[in-house]
């Protein structure tokens, strides 16, 4: 039986799940792991940000994937390398210099994963005809998203369960918020700081918490009061050795000289935009208040042995995310401070105005062991996926090395020829313009959706709580985006890309009117808000299908793998540059006028779409 008879369902979901998982491991799980292991926020932000670089520059080595070996070989080999990198991380976590070692392995894993992306996308184009490519384009995106959700959810749950199983009885803090509770802040007395508990030391290690059920009001307090309480908790924890000082350097804004760009370009231009198109709002009444805060005290009931350190990591467990931990996520207990009160600071969202409950759980297990086992599990999974793909991936006849002469001079000549051939393609200027401008509006919109949902009505936002935003955009929005992508792929496989190009261009633009409606009327009905976000995200998912298929269409040819990688670089650039100016523009225009601007910018989407020339047969099913 021919390899092409294998159902795409047997390998597309697993291939793109394997494509998404290393990305989320490098970009998200690494941040959580380093936080649990005590690395400072400054170091985490600085060093993990560089890990994104391989995905940015991957087009520069994509020609080698085209020139050497087969795409199938690259896919399986990179999956094995990613698995080996994950195993290496698991081995080095317990080392004294784990931060440097694991960063190096994450860096190598990022390059392997970026290379895997190049090969997987190339293999997808080789193993499927244009009709199947159109049909499954939504499926591959869906399983990539499933991988990101599984990585941020399931793997963190595994690490947390291992921490819980290897440490003291977890600390459980129940928080009840509501308008009937007091919202005033309370600075504890000196006597409470010396001995805040009635419990006596025991022979067992447990965490003593006071109060174990916290009641906090939903009425707001001044920002200065909240800042005083947080500073008090921070200084007390620092003085008693529960935390280390944050590596944050504050700057005196009066000593910062404006750059030429700021003084000559951005400031005058911004003032002109704000004067002629901005909304007039009284900002004196905004942002003077914040959510109420309460302190929680924690100590050990028994002294650790000299030199022993018991780390308590506390995080949100369940309930309403409008209640959050503002300070005290990581506390270190030693023989010197075990009987002193460590402080956790709980705060509520300033927009929360109804009864809500949240639970926070503190884990104190063997953190290095827990994360080592988690990465061993992930490594084993990747090796299993590599073995599965070794046998299940089809072997397309066209999946061959592009270069038969493997001498260094021939390879480098072919390498530069690959890039040159991309820019010699017909309609290359139109294609690049399309890749940069088709999502020009959406790239700005996506940056401002969450702030719009969170900001108060006085600033033109909807004033939702953090928990409500998690439901609206993090759940309903993702469902709409996924359904739109899947349905877009199905209809494109029936009529072809050319037939559906304009309906998809319209669908990415017209549903964005829902945000104009939200900004004009500022509804407080959650069903209406959810429906509007769903419509916009569904339209974007449906319309984005045309964008993905056009990249496949334009990349077709001798060096399709490398050319597709170049297209993805333009895609990233098309999202990055508009996104950089979105916040600046919104602050000048206000939300209502900003969304008007977004709708105007969709004219660019229609202009670049009008210049495309696409084979009517591309994406259609070939009649037998």
Q: Mean pLDDT in the chain?
A: 84
The SS3 of residue 612 is coil
Give the best-scoring range by mean pLDDT among 124-128, 325-329, 436-440, 573-577.
436-440
Contact between residue 574 and residue 436 where contact means Cβ atoms under 8 Å apart:
yes
Q: What pLDDT is recorded for position 251?
A: 32
Q: Assess whether 349 and 390 both reside in one domain.
A: no
Give a yes or no: residue 384 inside a domain. yes
- In degrees rounded to 5, what are phi and psi of residue 119? -70, -40
Among residues 33, 32, 55, 198, which one has the least CA distance to residue 118? 55
Q: Assess whether 201 and 337 both reside in one domain.
A: yes
Q: What pLDDT is recorded for position 599?
A: 93
- Report the number of secondary-structure helices (H) and strands (E) in the chain: 23, 11
Strand arrangement, sheet containing 310-319: 213-217, 171-178, 356-363, 310-319, 330-333
Please identify, among 398, 420, 442, the residue that sits at the C-terminal boundary of a domain.
Answer: 420
Neighbours of 43 (CB within 10 A): 13
CA 599 – CA 539 distance, rounded (Å) = 14
Contact between residue 191 and residue 229 where contact means Cβ atoms under 8 Å apart:
no
Is 254 a residue whose pLDDT tops 60?
no
Please identify, among 420, 444, 459, the residue that sits at the C-terminal boundary of a domain.
Answer: 420
Which residue has better confidence, 504 or 580? 504
Give a yes or no: residue 255 inside a domain. no
For the chain, give percent helix, strand, coil, nearest 5: 65, 10, 25
Q: Assess whether 209 and 233 both reside in one domain.
A: yes
Residues in the chain: 624
Give a yes or no: residue 148 inside a domain. yes
- pLDDT per residue as tens digits for the range 30-52: 888 888 888 877 788 778 878 88
Give a yes or no: residue 513 inside a domain. yes
CA distances from 577 to 203, 425, 571, 572, 583 (A): 60, 25, 11, 9, 12
Which residue range(s) make up the domain with 500? 425-624
Q: Assess whether 308 and 319 both reside in one domain.
A: yes
Q: What pLDDT is recorded for position 346?
A: 92
Q: Assess whether 393 and 526 both reside in one domain.
A: no
Q: Assess whether 184 and 320 both reside in one domain.
A: yes
Please identify, among 344, 364, 384, the residue that sits at the C-terminal boundary of a domain.
Answer: 364
Number of domains comprising the chain? 3
List the structure tokens of 227: 């800042």
Q: Assess whether 532 and 520 both reside in one domain.
A: yes
pTM of the model: 0.79
Q: Assess whether 411 and 535 both reside in one domain.
A: no
Give a yes or no: residue 265 inside a domain. no
DSSP bridge partners of 330: 313
Contact between residue 568 and residue 561 where contact means Cβ atoms under 8 Å apart:
no
- pLDDT per residue as tens digits for the range 325-378: 988 888 989 888 888 889 999 999 888 888 999 999 888 888 889 899 999 999
What DSSP string describes 183-214?
----PPPHHHHH----PPP-SS--EEEE-SEE
Q: Assess whether 5 and 29 both reside in one domain.
A: yes
Give a yes or no: residue 253 inside a domain. no
Strand 213-217, strand 171-178: pairing: parallel
Query: 137 falls in which pLDDT band (50, 70, 90)?
Result: confident
- pLDDT per residue as tens digits for the range 171-200: 899 999 999 998 888 777 665 565 555 455
Give the best-scoring range by mean pLDDT among 75-89, 186-200, 405-419.
75-89
Query: 406 falls in which pLDDT band (50, 70, 90)?
Result: low
Contact between residue 464 and residue 528 where contact means Cβ atoms under 8 Å apart:
no
Which residue has better confidence, 521 or 189? 521
Q: Assess whether 282 and 375 both reside in one domain.
A: no
Give a yes or no: residue 258 inside a domain. no
Contact between residue 397 and residue 575 where contact means Cβ atoms under 8 Å apart:
no
Q: Assess whether 344 and 437 both reside in one domain.
A: no
Give a yes or no: residue 547 inside a domain. yes
- Taking the alpha carbons at both ends of the chain, their separation in whole angstroms is 19
CA distances from 333 to 247, 440, 556 (A): 21, 51, 60
List the structure tokens of 377: 């599990």
Q: Assess whether 154 and 197 both reside in one domain.
A: no
Instruction: State the CATH number of the domain containing residue 555.
Output: 1.20.1250.20
């Amino acid at each position: 039986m021919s390899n092409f008879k294998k159902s795409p369902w047997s390998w597309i979901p697993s291939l793109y799940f394997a494509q998404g998982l290393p990305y989320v491991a490098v970009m998200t799980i690494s941040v959580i792991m380093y936080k649990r292991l005590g690395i400072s926020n400054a170091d985490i932000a600085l060093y993990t940000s560089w890990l994104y670089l391989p995905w940015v520059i991957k087009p520069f080595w994509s020609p080698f994937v085209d020139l050497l070996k087969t795409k199938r070989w690259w896919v399986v080999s990179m999956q094995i390398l990613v698995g080996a990198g994950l195993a290496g991380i698991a081995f080095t976590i317990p080392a004294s210099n784990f931060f440097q070692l694991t960063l190096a392995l994450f860096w190598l894993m990022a390059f392997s994963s970026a290379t895997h992306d190049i090969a997987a996308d190339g293999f997808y184009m080789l193993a499927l005809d244009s009709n199947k490519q159109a049909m499954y384009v939504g499926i591959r995106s869906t399983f990539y998203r499933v991988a990101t959700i599984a990585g941020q959810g399931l793997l963190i749950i595994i690490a947390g369960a291992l921490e819980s199983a290897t440490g003291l009885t977890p600390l459980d803090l129940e928080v009840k918020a509501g308008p009937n509770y007091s919202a005033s802040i309370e600075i504890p007395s000196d006597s409470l700081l010396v001995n805040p508990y009635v419990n006596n030391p025991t022979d067992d290690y447990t965490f003593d918490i006071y109060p174990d059920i916290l009641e906090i009001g939903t009425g707001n307090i001044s920002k200065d009061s909240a800042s005083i309480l947080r500073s008090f908790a921070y200084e007390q924890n620092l003085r008693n050795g529960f935390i280390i000082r944050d590596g944050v350097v504050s700057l005196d804004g009066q000593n910062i000289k404006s750059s030429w760009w700021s003084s000559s370009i951005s400031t005058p231009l911004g003032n002109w935009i704000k004067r002629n198109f901005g909304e007039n709002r009284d900002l004196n009444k905004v942002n003077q208040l914040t959510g109420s805060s309460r302190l929680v005290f924690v100590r050990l009931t028994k002294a650790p042995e000299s030199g022993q350190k018991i780390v308590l990591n506390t995080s949100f467990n369940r309930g309403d995310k409008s209640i959050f931990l503002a300070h005290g996520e990581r506390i270190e207990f030693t023989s010197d401070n075990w009987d002193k009160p460590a402080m956790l600071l709980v705060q509520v969202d300033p927009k929360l105005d109804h009864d809500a409950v949240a639970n926070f759980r503190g884990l104190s297990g063997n953190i290095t062991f827990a994360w080592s086992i988690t990465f061993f599990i992930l490594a084993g999974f990747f090796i299993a996926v590599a073995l599965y793909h070794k046998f299940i991936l089809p072997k397309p006849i066209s999946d061959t090395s592009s270069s038969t002469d493997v001498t260094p001079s021939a390879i480098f000549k072919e390498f530069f020829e690959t890039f040159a051939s991309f820019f010699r393609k017909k309609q290359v200027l139109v294609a690049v313009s399309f890749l940069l401008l088709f999502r020009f509006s959406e790239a700005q919109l996506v940056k401002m959706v969450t702030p719009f949902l969170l900001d108060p009505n006085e600033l033109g936002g909807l004033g939702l709580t953090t928990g409500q935003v998690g439901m609206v955009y993090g759940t309903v929005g993702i469902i709409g985006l996924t359904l739109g992508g899947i349905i877009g792929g199905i209809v494109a496989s029936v009529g072809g890309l050319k037939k559906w190009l304009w309906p998809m261009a319209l669908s990415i633009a017209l549903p964005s009117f829902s945000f104009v409606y939200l900004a004009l009327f500022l509804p407080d009905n959650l069903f209406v808000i959810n429906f509007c976000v769903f419509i916009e995200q569904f339209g974007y998912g449906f319309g984005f299908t045309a964008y993905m298929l056009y990249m496949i269409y334009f990349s077709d040819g001798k060096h399709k793998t490398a050319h597709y990688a170049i297209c993805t670089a333009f895609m990233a650039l098309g999202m990055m540059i508009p996104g950089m100016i979105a916040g600046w523009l919104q602050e000048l225009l206000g939300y209502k006028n900003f969304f008007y601007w977004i709708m105007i910018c969709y004219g660019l989407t229609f202009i670049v779409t009008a210049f495309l020339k696409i084979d009517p047969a591309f994406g259609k099913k070939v009649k037998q």
